[in-house]
Amino acid sequence: MKLEIEYTSDLSDVTALSLQGFFVGWPFPPTPENLLLLLRGSTHRVLAVNVADERRCVGYITGLSDGVLFGYISSLEVLPEFQGHGIGKELVCRMLSELADVYAVDLVCDADVQPFYEKCGLSRYSAMVIRRRDLLQSRNAPG
C-alpha cells in the first residue's frame, strides 16, 4: 500500500461512497451518508486523502467553534489499515492550528485513546455527556 497523504478541507469531490469503512467497532456506526452530513455541518474539518489511491479519504477530523472562546473536536477517524502512520496525529495538529485563536479546545474520548491525545498536547479533564444511542440507531435504519 503506497501512501501519499494530502490534507484538505475541500469536500467538493467527497461522496458518501468514498466514506466507507469508518466507525469500526461502533455498536451503531453512522452511515456514510450521515458521515458526509457530519463533515458538511462542521465549522472546521480536515480530511486525509491518499493521493496514491485515487484520492481515497483515509481519515478525517471535525471541529465546532464559536470563533471566540470555545472549540470542540467532535470526531477523529482513520481507517484501520492506515493507522500507525501518523495520520491521526497530523489531523489533530492541523485542527488545533485551525482552533488556535480560541481560549479552550475540548474533546471527549474513551479512556483507551486518552494516551494518544496526550501525545498531541491535550490534557485529561472531566466531562459530562449524554449519549442517545437509540437516536443514532434509528438514523441508520434502512429506508
Domain region containing 10: 5-139
Higher pLDDT, 140 or 90: 90
pLDDT in tens, 24-47: 998 889 999 999 999 999 999 999
**Whole-number percent of the chain with pLDDT over 70:** 98
pLDDT of residue 28: 85
Asked if residues 58 and 24 have their Cβ atoms less than 8 Å apart, the reply is no
Predicted model pTM: 0.90
Q: What is the CATH number of the domain that holds 91?
A: 3.40.630.30
Provide the domain count of the chain.
1
pLDDT digits (tens, 9 = 90+) for 107-138: 999 999 999 999 999 999 998 889 888 877 77
SS3 of residue 34 by DSSP = helix
